[in-house]
Structures are given as C-alpha cells and as structure tokens.
A and B are shown apart, each in its own frame.
Chain A
Amino acid sequence: MMSDFLSVSNLSRSYGEFHAVNDISFSAKQGEFIALLGPSGCGKSTTLKMIAGLELPTAGKIEINGSDVVNTPPGKRNLSMVFQSYALFPHMSVKENILFGLKARKVQKQERNKRLNEAVEMVDLGPHINKKPGQLSGGQCQRVALARTIVSNAPLCLMDEPLSNLDTKLRAEMRSEIRSLQRKLGLTVVYVTHDQIEAMSMADSIILLNEGRIEQASTPEAFYEHPETPFVAKFIGHPPMNLIAFDDLLVGVRPEHIGLVEQGGLAVSVVECDYQGSETILTTSFKESTIRLSLAGKRVLAPGAAVNIQWVPENEHHFSSSSGQRIERTNSVMNS
C-alpha cells in the first residue's frame, strides 16, 4: 500500500475560547483529490492555511511527504496555493505574475521560460500574457492562478474556494478543467469549498467539517448513499434530504427517491409546486415535517391537494433522534 503523502493528525486551532479547528485528522495519498467541505465558519479555510503554513496550529502535526512541517516556513513546504481572490499582483503582467515565484526562487532564465510556455499552453492563456490582471475576466484570472501553480512544480496544491467568484456556467467548465489538470500533473490537491456539487463532482474523497470537527470523511458515493449523521444527510444533495420524525427515529429520504402513488404509502398534502424545467420540486407537509419530492418533467398540483407518496425501503436512512447517529436499517416506515 502506498504511504500517505499528506497527513494531518490531531490538528487544532483555537482563538481564545473559540475552537476554529478541533482535533481533526485526515490523510491524502499522492495524486489524490481531497475536498474539505463545510458551511462557512466550519474551520475548513483555517485548516488549509495551517497546511500552507500561513497560520500556526495550537496543537497537532502536519506531515508532507514524510516530514513534519509544522515549523517549516510556507515557502519551504514545497506546495502551491490557489486563492479565492486569485491573489494576482495587480501591477504585474500575466507573465510576471506567473514568473514571480520562479524569480523569487532564482530559477535559471531558460528553465523559467520553458515552464512559462508549458503552463501558458496548458491553461490556454497565450494571447493574454502581456495584459494586467485588471484587463482579464474572472475565468482568465483563475487560469493565471492555475498557471502559477503549474510552473511551481510543487507536488501538493491547496485550493481555497477557487471557483466561488465565477458565474455558474464558468464554474462547471473550470471544475472539469481543474480536475483534468490535476490528473495530468499527478497533483495531490486539498480543495476547500462550501459547494457540495464541487466536492461531489471533483473529489476522490470528501471531508465534511462542522464547527471545527470532522462530521464524515469518505468517498462521494458514501456521502450520498451512507450519510453518518443528519447534518451530512442535509448537507449533500439538492434539494437536501428530507428528515422526517417518527417516534424516536429520524427517517431520511432523498427527494429524488420519492414518487407519487395512487394509494397506500404516506398521505401528505401539497404546500408548493416549483417547476424548474427538467424537474418539478414538490413541497408537501406530513404532520410537523416538510417533505420535498423531485419529480421529472412538469407537474402541476394545487396547494392543499392530498396526495400519496412512496419510496423503496432501500433508500431510507435511519438516525437516532437522541444521539443523532446513524442506525442500520430496522423496519421501513413504509411497511408500518
């Protein structure tokens, strides 16, 4: 088995009484794409900054390629970083921005230009290298930031919400571009995001953080099919998983797993019908719970209408309502 390229153990960071990051551990193999996912303020960016060396941990260990780097300055950790703001130097041309690191590291001119040309080619910036960042679009700035990573030749790349300043269409494009770049260069990537779609579609494994702790760490499939807590269940999927209270049980079912039936199942009443083109999101109420359904195509149902809904027992997730932990399936609520 290949050893871990990046390993973070018992990492903590507190500001006075506030624990931004609370005893988290995870690791990444060489060439692995890891997403640190979570709502804002969950400690994901702080974790990334600690790996980069821009922030000091209050406790814990960070190992890169087998050596402890906690006391190593950022510039000597052999990693690159893509910032949410891109962190491009506004007064330098694209070319100077890309070359900044190589010049600071006193790389020979010939080697510098070779790497520059390769990188510019890879991210398709050819016609823009003499422009200033202010003359570029958001997507182009993003490419400059990526080119900076490419020329550094660093095996580890940290990305801090790199796509959050782009519009939806460009975001989807850049997702696959970053992913293919990462594969081509064999980069180990730690990718911070609050967007579950980015994490699900790009990452080999996801670490979901909540209030400074790891809520779940697993593959995207396991996140979708096997959420460990109601928080995870709610966080992954769009619209989020329904959580319905049945006695001492929280039953989770994804909107796309629920269908309408003529009779039987659960009797609910329609609250709202939201047509979105390829699907219709139907909001219904059942006792005190709200249940959303995602139905294919256009469906028109009047608010207040009584309908019956049903799902297959395999798509049901059970959580203890007292401990919040996942309980392996007992009996489906559909049968009772």
Chain B
Amino acid sequence: MSDSLHLDNYRYLLEDEVLLQVLSNSFWYAAITVPVSIALAIAMALWVNTKLRGVGLLRLAYFTPTVLPMISVANIWLFFYSTEIGLLNNILGYFGADAVNWLGDPDISLYSLMAMTIWKEAGFFMIFYLAALQTISPDLYHAAALENASRWTIFKRITFPLLMPTTLFVLVNAILNAFKLVDHLFILTKGGPNNSSNLLLYYIFENAFSFFDTAYASALTVLLLIILVFLALLQFGVLEKRVHYR
C-alpha cells in the first residue's frame, strides 16, 4: 500500500499513452455531446412549447429516454448498432449501402457512443428548458411582434438570453454527466476497440478492478477531480457575468 502515497503514480500519469488517448476521447465526448444535446433540448422545448394537438404525447416521447436507466438504454442501442441484425445496418441495407461496424470500428465507436448519449440527455435537458420557457411572459413576445421582429431576432435577443440561467445549470450538469456517466461502456464497447472509445472514469474502473492497480486508479481519480473543479470554476467564472437572473 505504500505505493499509493508514492509520487511515482503521478509521474506515470505523464507517461501513460493510453491516458492521453482516454483524455482526448473524454474531451471530444464532452465537446460534442454537451453542445449538441443542449441545442437539441432548446429546439425540442421550443417545439413542444407551442399549442399543438397531441403535444402532451410528444413531450412524453422526448422525456422517455431520461426515465430509462443507462444500462437499459445501452441494451436497446446494442440492437440498433449490432452488425448482423442491427436496425441501423438493416436500414442501410435497404438503401443498398454497405454495413457499418458501429461499435467495432475504432474510427466510429466513440461517435456511436456520443449519438446514444445525446439521445439520452437531450430529453432530460428539454424539461428544464420547457419549464424556463413557460416562465417567460407572453407580453414580451407580443411587444416584439408589434415591432415586427423576426423569429430569429426574437430567439436571439429575447428567448435565448432569458434562458441563460437554465443554460448555465444544464451546462454544468451536462459536463459533469459527460465525465461521470460510463454505464453504457460496460454494455456497448468496454472502452474498445483498442481504447478508441475509452473514457476517463471507465479507465479508472479498469485500473482499479480489472488490473487491480488501486494506486494508479487513485492518482487518476485525483486527476478527474482536478479536471471537474477546473471546469466548474471556468463555467461559473465565464458565464456568470453573462447570465441575467431575475
């Protein structure tokens, strides 16, 4: 156990090439899933906030992925992604395209994970945006309509700025989730092939419970913590100034 107190573990962080790969994966995973799921969440919230028939069902449909545990979601998506019987490849085959090895191709596996994550997260964030949208007074939109403001102007200058407090909250959650939700890796790729879809938390798990290197896993955990603290500070520091709280 004396190893765990030894600086060698931290020194190894700098030399570990797999870690470099994992960090790069984690970075891209967050950098793509977070903005895309937020943008989708806003779009869906705007869409279901209108007075349409059957909008209740639509809201429910968007919210379903959130209710499901990550493990079941991953099991469902396994049937979408599987090479032989998978839904996606069947659709591709219908159009005469070649089958894609969604989870087995190192160039694609991480993106397959991202797609599933976005599907899972966007519905959850939509609920927050929907709640925020409903607190915006219709008078503001009436006033804008009287000024002949275009829909884009209204979104850019009124809706989006008034959603900023929600966006900050969602952003913090989304980034945390990007680092702490790895359940789907157990089902779909186990970080492979060749670490192409490995993420930091899963790498920590591997070190601790597959390679039984608790000491190095601890060092990695400290690294994860530092990254999370840094991200949180960055978000509050940069965005806080630009958020208008009522």
Interfacial residues, chain A to chain B (CB-CB below 8 A)? 52-54, 73-77, 79-81, 83, 85, 87, 89-92, 100-101, 104-105, 132, 134, 148, 152
Contacts and interface: CB of A to CB of B under 8 A. Distances in A.
Nearest to B154: A104
B145 interface: yes
Contact of A83 (B142, B150, B157, B162): B142
Contact of A81 (B146, B157, B158): B146
Contacts of B140: 87, 89
A76 B143 CA distance: 13
B139 A87 contact: yes
Interface string B26-57: 00000000000000000000000000000000
Q: How large is the interface on B (under 10, 10 to 19, 20 to 34, 35 or more residues)?
A: 20 to 34
A90 B146 contact: no
Contacts, number: 67
Q: Chain B interface secondary structure, helix, strand, loop or mixed?
A: helix
22 contacts: A52-B142, A53-B146, A74-B142, A75-B146, A75-B147, A76-B148, A79-B146, A83-B139, A83-B142, A85-B139, A87-B140, A87-B143, A91-B161, A100-B147, A100-B149, A101-B147, A104-B144, A104-B150, A105-B148, A132-B244, A134-B246, A152-B147
Interface in B129-168: 137, 139-140, 142-150, 153, 157-158, 161-162, 164
Given A81-B142, A83-B142, A87-B142, A104 B149 contact: yes
Contacts of B145: 53-54, 73-75
B162 A91 contact: yes
Nearest to B137: A85
Interface in B8-24: none
A80 B149 CA distance: 13
B124 to A, nearest CB: 25
B61 to A, nearest CB: 29
Interface string B188-211: 000000000000000000000000
A90 B149 contact: no
Contact of B149 (A75, A77, A81, A83): A75
A83 B153 CA distance: 21
Contacts of A52: 142, 146
Nearest to A96: B157
A75 B148 contact: yes
A53 B137 CA distance: 18
Nearest to B140: A87
A88 to B, nearest CB: 8
Nearest to B142: A54
Contacts of A92: 157
Contacts of B244: 90-91, 132
